Amino acid sequence: MNTPTLGGELTLMRTELLGLSFIPQHSDARVLDQLIYKWSEARVMIGKVLTEKYGALLRTGWNLSEKEIARDAAGLLGGNFHEFLRRP
């Protein structure tokens, strides 16, 4: 997944298919150094996808609160994983 365009398209597709109930970052990193830069790139991609999706919602007349956006971002940036770990 070293191709940013492909990573962004996959993140967008997953968002459209799964909503926000997934863990958007996976890594094929071989060493810790790769994981750090890949996570930085993934956060940018996640931000672009959220911006696009929220823009589409706003154009339909949907009202978004800062609290909702913060909730969604927190879920995608780690909260969904922690929630998954608490499941039986």
> How much is the pTM?
0.78
pLDDT at 29: 67
Kindly report, residue by residue over 61-78, the tens digit of the pLDDT.
999 999 999 999 999 988
Instruction: Report the distance separating Cα 82 and Cα 72, nearest Å.
Output: 14
Instruction: Report the distance separating Cα 83 and Cα 87, nearest Å.
Output: 7
pLDDT at 17: 93
Count Cβ atoms below 10 Å from residue 14 Cβ, excluding itself. 15
- Give Cβ neighbours of residue 29 (< 8 Å, ≥ 6 apart): 35, 38
Torsion of CA 47, 52, 54, 55, to 10 degrees: 140
pLDDT at 18: 92
Kindly report, residue by residue over 5-60, the tens digit of the pLDDT.
888 888 899 999 999 988 887 666 677 777 777 777 888 889 999 999 999 999 99
